[in-house]
Chain A
Amino acid sequence: MTLSQRNRPRLPLAVAITLAAYLLLVVAFPVCNLLVPAGKGLHLSDYAVGLVGKILCYAMVAVALDLIWGFGGILSLGHGLFFALGGYAMGMYLMRSIGREGVYGSVLPDFMVFLDWKELPWYWRGTEHFLWALALVVLAPGLLAFVFGFFAFRSRIKGVYFAIITQALTYAFMLLFFRNATGFGGNNGFTDFKRILGFPLADPRTKMVLFVLTATALLAELALCRFIVESKLGRVLTAIRDEESRLRFCGYETTRYKVFVFTLSAVLCGIAGALYVPQVGIINPSEMSAASSIEIAIWVAAGGRGTLLGPLLGAVAVNGAKSFLTVAFPDAWLYALGLMFILITRYLPRGLASLLLRAPRAPRARIAHSPAVAPERSA
């Protein structure tokens, strides 16, 4: 029983709900934020738009991780790194477009003036062009994931080993980006952005455009992932998750599939990071901490691995809860997060999706044996 067969009957409903939600976001949000005046009941504050925009970026990351983990069975703890790399690439462009309006009035970003640098390092060349920055958003995480994935998968590193090695990679990059000498602003990272493509970032209309772009990117990502999952590639991917050795003996070069999907997933993360930075207004190396990457995994696990909408829901639910709890009960959030990790993995291995969408062909008794949660001793 492949995944696509299982999902096909529900496809129209899921698509309909997704499209409706998308329309709600791109129509109701601009109207309520820009047209309804402040003070009216239906008015949506800029803060709320920013918050939802941020969560949509996280949802993009969750869907990207789900593609490789939920369908490919490969848990990467490096997705925070790819997200941050995309964010840094966009941040470089945003830093350059501050121009001479920084604190020191120099063409160089403030932190470079502060370090007494006289010119931009070579890797900053060209970042004043938006298109090159966009290319970097794709290339930086993509190339890293390709090279790293190629070597890792070629050596048949998998399971917990792969998770730990990606975590080490992320940790190494975090240390690197924390250094002032690396040229990315040290532990302060990039902030104080002024404009993007000439539009001021403080303007609610600019923010709304970014918001709509994010929602659209998320929709496009879902469509792309659905296409991949339902294609032959997707079926090979699921087979890799469930029985890689057998697939290899059948003559499939599993390494190629894994490298491709890992790279694609990293690029999607990079794009999410690039959309995140102008909306949130800051990027710093803490995005590369081990904790951020593991949190991404819990969004996916909470929502339901191996479904596409599940991780999206998980990201929204967990981050919504985080936004609420960190304000209302600051001390409780870490308890809640810790318990969430323990309880979800134990009692809800298929995530929220299994509660919301009653799986008609996967009765409860079969869950324990279903491929998504099959014992991974071989890993």
Chain B
Amino acid sequence: MRLASVLASCLLLASAAASALTPDELHKLASAESAGKLVDQIDTIVARGDPADAAVLRGLLEGRLWALGDQVLLDEGGAVRDLVSGKVVAELPADAEKISINNRVRRSLERGLAALGLFAPGAPERLAAARSLQDSGDAEQLPLVARALAVEKDPQVKETLLSVQGALLLASPRASERLSAIEILLRDPTTRNRRLLVERVSPETDENVRHALAAGIQRIDRSLARAEVIGWVFGGLSLGSVLLLAALGLSITFGLMGVINMAHGELLMIGAYATYVVQTFFRAHLPGGLSFYLLAAAPIAFLAAAFAGMLLEIFVVRPLYGRPLETLLATWGASLLFIQIVRGIFGAQNVEVANPPWMSGGVKAMPGLVLPYNRLAIIAFAVAVLCIVWLLLERTRLGLLVRAVMQNRGIAGGLGVSTPWIDRLAFALGGGIAGLSGCALSQIGNVGPELGQGFIVDSFMVVVLGGVGQLAGTVIAAAGLGQVNKLLEPYAGAVLAKIAVLAFIIIFIQRRPQGLFAPRGRAAEEA
């Protein structure tokens, strides 16, 4: 299909070189008796809808068309072509006369060129032509639009053309055409088409059309409302997956050791900076693979943050075992050190981490709703990380030991589990997950030394709400907080929404201090 249209446009181009206009038509253009005649001639040419004629018309508009006896010369910038004979002359003869045009002709030419653009070989040009027609609201172009629609293959251009046709038909004097226009416009329920319908309401005299207009506006409203709700849900989902990524690692270390790692946000930051370093490396040494640098960045971010997490466990958390409040303070100190070290290496300013090309843009899910690819990627990534963590915890020996230590440290140790090593590995795992999250976050936000600070309160709220060490609780809490935040935002603004959510959590903790999924049985006594 596409190949066929490409071939067709190649043929069109070839014919353009030979000029599609007959010598008679050319002479009428070159020596019209009046501006009115010239306009008529232009309209005839345009009505034929042959994009090959656009070059001649553009030449006329830009003052590059000259007459000399029987010859009609087009200055093609460098070469001059006689359109009648098709011969090329090197230089413009001195006695050639420029074909002059007035404003009326100029307007007609501009309109005509826009209409001919509908038949241009490239889809983007056709789209641009269709959009400009939509803005002009010129009813005389209707037959051309219909012809363009008949041959148009590109779905996006076709959609725009339909809405142009609808818009133009809506101004038609015949009620039946206006009714069909409403039908056409309803196929694409956007705010733009809604505006067209609303504007038509007051000048409308026909009773049936009035009813159709009212019903149509309602239908568009419903569809827009649906798009908005889906947009919110999507926004909440994407925020929720960010929260989940930030909180997953924390949930493991907090659940396992009962300590709060205030430097968790800085592990995210380290992951994001690792991504930056990998990107810089690719730019310098592997520019060809730049679009896939993220694939290399994710494991490196994991390792860097896991290493930092393990250092943290060895030097800060382990020596303070059994003193959670002091661990909190000491890890805060560690977070200050991390921030300051990163500042020392990379500077205090944000660094630039670019989206790979396949992550920019978005998919149009429904009229009035575009889902950006980078947000979709974050959601998919969060789900993938969640699956990996779940498999690790539930299906591997390490996971089994981690869960055993989490449930009862003393007995696990008594049965020969090396609890210090489990702690260390779990801390490295939690750090590594934070690193992966940092790699993901670098794709949707700024990367700077203070990146982690913004997440610390939020991710703790997720962990506290979900229940410590509960994977399911963490997931539901993250998704729920994301949704609630996004639902409140349109009413209260981002800041008040955040405050409301914090207030809600504080109240919620009153009711269920152990979180959504409280551990039962023996574990509950210890908590």
A59–B344 alpha-carbon span in the complex (Å): 32
Which of A20-28, A48-56, A159-167 lies at the interface?
Answer: A159-167
Q: Is the interface of B mostly helix, strand, loop or mixed?
A: helix
A175 — which chain B residues lie within 8 A by C-beta?
495, 498-499
Contact of B323 with A155 in the complex, beta carbons under 8 Å: no
Q: Given A337-B336, A342-B333, A379 and B324 touching (CB < 8 A)?
A: yes
Q: How far is the CA of A379 from the CA of B344 in the complex (A)?
A: 37
Known contacts A338-B337, A345-B329; decide if A172 and B323 are in contact (CB<8 Å).
no
Do B322 and A346 have beta carbons less than 8 Å apart? Answer: no
A10 within 8 A of B: no
Contact bitstring A283-326, B, C-beta under 8 A = 1, else 0: 00000001000100110010000000000000000000000000
A159 to B320, CA, bound (A): 15
Across the interface, which residues of A come within 8 angstroms of B316, CB to CB? 342, 346
Q: Which of A168, A175, A340, A376 counts the most B-chain CB atoms under 10 A from its CB?
A: A168
- Asked, given contacts A154-B510, A155-B509, A171-B502, whether A342 binds B495 with beta carbons under 8 Å apart, the answer is no
Which residues of chain A in 95-117 are interfacial with respect to chain B, using CB atoms and an 8 Å cutoff? none
Does residue B20 face the partner (Cβ distance < 8 Å to A)? no
When distances are taken between beta carbons in the complex, the residues of chain A under 8 Å from B124 are: none
Q: Is A157 interfacial (CB-CB < 8 Å)?
A: yes
User: Contacts of B499 on A, CB cut-off 8 Å?
Assistant: 172, 175-176
A172 touches B502 (CB 8 A): yes
Chain A CB within 8 A of B83 CB: no
Contacts of B503 in A (CB 8 A): 172
Asked if B513 and A160 make an inter-chain contact with CB atoms under 8 angstroms apart, the answer reads no
Residues from chain B with a CB closer than 8 A to the CB of A172 are 498-499, 502-503
Among B323, B332, B456, max chain A CB count under 10 A is at B332
CB <8 Å contact, B509 and A157: yes
Which residue in B322, B337, B509 is a CB contact (below 8 Å) of A161?
Answer: B509
Q: Chain B: how many interface residues by the 8 Å CB criterion? A: 46
Of chain A, the residue at the smallest CB distance from B323 is: A376
Is A151 positioned at the interface, with any CB of B under 8 Å from its CB? Answer: yes
Q: Is A335 an interface residue (CB 8 A)?
A: yes
Tell me the A170-195 residues at the B interface (CB within 8 Å).
171-172, 175-176, 178-179
B356 to chain A, nearest CB (A): 34
Contact B509 A337 (CB under 8 A): no
- Chain A, Cβ-Cβ closest to B336: A338
Whether A349 sits at the interface, judged by CB under 8 Å, is yes
Interface presence of A156 (CB below 8 A): yes
Q: Is residue B100 within 8 Å, beta carbon to beta carbon, of the partner chain?
A: no
Q: Are A377 and B322 interface neighbours, CB within 8 A?
A: yes
In the bound complex, do residue A164 and residue B464 qualify as a contact, i.e. CB atoms below 8 Å apart? yes
Cβ–Cβ < 8 Å partners of B377 in chain A: none
- In the assembled complex, the CB of A210 is this many whole angstroms from the nearest CB of chain B, namely 32
A331 within 8 A of B: yes
Residues of B with C-beta under 8 A to A168: 457, 460-461, 502, 505-506
A373 to B327, CA, bound (A): 12
Given contacts A160-B328, A161-B464, A334-B339, A341 and B333 within 8 Å (CB-CB): yes
- Measured in the bound complex, the distance between the Cα atoms of B458 and A167 in whole Å is 11
* Cα distance A379–B258 in the bound complex, in angstroms: 9
Whole-angstrom distance between the Cβ of B508 and the nearest chain A Cβ: 10
Chain A residues closer than 8 Å to B511, beta-carbon distance: 155
* Of listed B453, B499, B511, residue having the most chain A CB within 10 A: B499
Contact B260 A164 (CB under 8 A): yes
- The complex places the Cα of A377 from the Cα of B322 at a distance, in Å, of 6
Distance between Cα atoms of A169 and B501 in the complex (Å) = 11
Tell whether A342 pairs with B513 under 8 Å between CB atoms, given A75-B325, A172-B502: no
Q: Taking the nearest CB of chain B, how far is it from the CB of A331, in angstroms? A: 7
- Asked whether any CB of chain A lies closer than 8 Å to the CB of B209, the reply is no
Q: Are B498 and A294 in contact (CB under 8 A)?
A: no
Neighbour of A169 across the interface among B335, B456, B502, CB < 8 A: B502
Decide: A156 near B513, CB < 8 A? Known: A175-B495, A334-B336. Answer: yes
B325 closest partner in A (C-beta)? A75
Taken together as a complex, chains A and B put the C-alpha atoms of A155 and B502 apart, in Å, by: 17
CB closest residue in chain B, given A378: B526
Q: Which of B325, B456, B505 contacts A379 (CB 8 A)?
A: B325
Considering the chains assembled together, what is the distance between the CA atoms of A342 and B331 in angstroms? 7
User: In the complex, A377→B408 CA distance in Å?
Assistant: 13
Using a CB-CB cutoff of 8 Å, which residues 493-527 of chain B contact chain A? 495-496, 498-499, 502-503, 505-507, 509-511, 513, 526
Assembly CA distance A341 to B333 (angstroms): 5
Q: How many residues of A contact B (CB 8 A)?
A: 45
Residues A121-156 near B (CB distance < 8 A): 148, 151-152, 154-156
Closest-CB distance, A97 to chain B (whole angstroms) = 30
Count, A-B residue pairs, CB within 8 A? 129
Whether B132 is near chain A, meaning CB under 8 Å from some CB there, is no
Cβ of B182 to closest chain A Cβ, rounded Å: 43
- Which chain B residues border A373 with CB–CB below 8 Å? 323
By beta carbon, the residue of chain B nearest A164 is B460
**Interface residue B203 (Cβ < 8 Å from any Cβ of A):** no
Q: Mark B120-159, 1 if CB is under 8 A from A, else 0.
A: 0000000000000000000000000000000000000000
| Interchain nearest-CB distance for B439 vs A (Å) | 25
B77 at the interface (CB under 8 A from A): no
Inter-chain CA distance A294–B336, complex, in Å, is 12
A339 within 8 A of B: yes
B280: Cβ under 8 A from any A Cβ: no
**A155 in contact with B457 (CB, 8 Å):** no
Closest-by-CB residue of A relative to B316 is: A342
Let me know if B332 and A341 touch, CB within 8 A.
yes
Contact of B319 with A by CB under 8 A: yes
**Residue in contact with B326 in the complex, picked from A155, A164, A167, A349, CB distance below 8 Å:** A349
A337 to B453: give the CA distance in the assembly, Å.
17
Q: B334 in the interface, Cβ–Cβ < 8 Å?
A: yes
Q: Does A375 contact B (CB under 8 A)?
A: yes
CB-CB < 8 A to A349: which residues of B?
323, 326
**Is B330's CB within 8 Å of the partner chain A?**
yes
When the two chains form their complex, are residues B506 and A169 in contact, meaning their CB atoms are under 8 A apart?
yes
Closest chain-B Cβ to A296's Cβ sits at a distance in Å of: 11
What CA separation (Å) do A337 and B338 show in the bound complex?
A: 12
- A248-294 residues with Cβ-Cβ distance < 8 A to B are 290, 294
Shortest distance between the CB of A101 and any CB in chain B (Å)? 32
With a cutoff of 8 Å between Cβ atoms, the chain A residues found around residue B513 in the complex are 155-157, 161
A179→B332 CA distance, assembly (Å): 27
Picked from A75, A164, A165, A335, the residue with its CB within 8 Å of the CB of B340 is A335
- In the assembled complex, the CB of A304 is this many whole angstroms from the nearest CB of chain B, namely 13
How many angstroms between the C-alpha atoms of A34 and B86 in the bound complex? 101
Tell me the bound Cα distance from A363 to B503 in angstroms.
46
Q: B342: shortest Cβ distance to chain A, in Å?
A: 11
The reply to whether B319 and A297 form a contact with Cβ atoms under 8 Å apart is no
Alpha-carbon distance A157/B507, docked complex (angstroms) = 12
B259 contacts A by Cβ under 8 Å: yes
Contact string, B425-439, partner A, CB cutoff 8 A, digits 1/0?
A: 000000000000000
Q: Report B-chain residues with C-beta under 8 Å of the C-beta of A157.
A: 509, 513
Which residues of A are found within 8 Å of B498, using beta-carbon distances?
172, 175
Q: A52 to B496, alpha carbons, bound, how many Å?
A: 38
Q: Which of A163, A338, A346 has the most CB of B within 10 A?
A: A338
Residue in chain B with minimal CB distance to A77 = B328
Question: From residue A159, how far is it (CB to closest CB) to chain B in Å?
Answer: 6
Residues of B343-368 whose CB lies within 8 A of A? 344
Determine if A301 and B326 form an interchain contact, defined as CB atoms under 8 angstroms apart: yes
**Is B340 a contact partner of A376 (Cβ separation < 8 A)?**
no
Closest-by-CB residue of B relative to A166 is: B506
**In the complex, which residues of chain A have a beta carbon less than 8 angstroms from the beta carbon of B502?**
168-169, 171-172
Asked if A338 and B340 sit within 8 Å, CB to CB, the answer is yes
Task: Give me 10 other A-B pairs in contact (C-beta within 8 A), A294-B332, A338-B336 excluded.
Answer: A75-B328, A152-B510, A159-B324, A161-B509, A163-B325, A165-B506, A171-B457, A340-B333, A342-B337, A376-B323
Q: Top 3 nearest A-B pairs by Cβ distance?
A: A341-B333, A338-B336, A375-B322
15 pairs of residues in contact across A and B, judged by CB atoms under 8 Å: A148-B506, A155-B511, A157-B513, A160-B325, A160-B328, A168-B460, A179-B496, A290-B456, A331-B344, A338-B333, A338-B336, A346-B316, A346-B319, A376-B324, A379-B324
